[in-house]
Structure 1
Amino acid sequence: MTGTPQISEYRRAIGHFATGVTVVTSAGAGGPVGLTANAVCSLSLQPRLMIVCLDLGSNTLAAVRDCGRLAVNVLAHEQQELAVRFAGKQADGAKFTDVAHHTVENVPVLDGAVAWLTGTVRELLPGGDHVIGIAEVSAVGGAGGDPLVYYRGAYHGLGEGLLD
């Protein structure tokens, strides 16, 4: 097929690209904010840079702009509920209700994440209905374990259901 694909066709095609699942967090004026993101990747080792893509209308983007810092929390396979919660449109305070987290370098980090990275935003670039953020990583940590994966519109543990 040629020409501009329909949104549903684009989603179906790009859905074949399996990704890790993260929650990007920052410090908002009213408390912690966050959203589920799978458009996250490493950019450079020297310096240590990562790319994070944030929805234009998100409170998290507003907080990242104001705060200048963020955390990327790589979710564990048993944290699917957090992926769903942070993908929702409810108020950020509700997203963090009963969610165990702590602060590293003034940004919230989710307890139990397989890995987390905190960083300072170096650039925010336009990217359609998203903003492409480039952050310099300043701290890393995490609990280890198996990550949550997003593939063909559903969450999976690493390897489970991916070949169906």
Structure 2
Amino acid sequence: MTDTTVPAKTPVITIILAVSLALALVGAGLLAFAWRNNTSTIDALRDDVTTLNASLTAAENENTELRSQLSDLEDLYPPRHFASREALLAWLAVAVPGLPEGNSLQRHLDLQELALAQGYIWSIWVDVSQPDITYVGSHVVAGDTVYLVDTTNGAILALHTSPYFIE
């Protein structure tokens, strides 16, 4: 007959199996908690994406509307450079004598305002790098050349010529 008695090591194996089962249950519980926690995080992130997409759509619509308005304004008042040196001199011959007396900056700003009202591009620069001296100037493109404009007498000085200025 065969001996059916359980060897003495059985309680150790039972303890190891019980501890392994307990660890497996704890691990499964932690995974379930992490899954549930990640699911709520994912849902929150999806809500954020939905909100951001709505904001993006609104910004794109506003951008489209503003571009349309800009196009309408450019149709009415197309920004442009002076066609030639002669056109710039002729414009200055009329504009400069009509300027009110004032400081250099104000004269440049007055010319810029007049030019912009007529659709011309007029750039002003101010250099305050010297503590006691402020330089003010206007750069204007006429034809294919950038000119420096003297607001006291309407004289111009060619600074740079480039074929890229031609419209």
TM-score by length of 1: 0.27
The structure, 1 or 2, with the larger RCO (C-alpha pairs under 8 Å, 6+ apart) is 1
TM-score by length of 2: 0.26
Which protein has the larger Cα radius of gyration, Structure 1 or Structure 2? 2
Q: From the two aligned structures, give the one with the greater helix fraction.
A: 2
Q: From the two aligned structures, give the one with the greater strand fraction.
A: 1
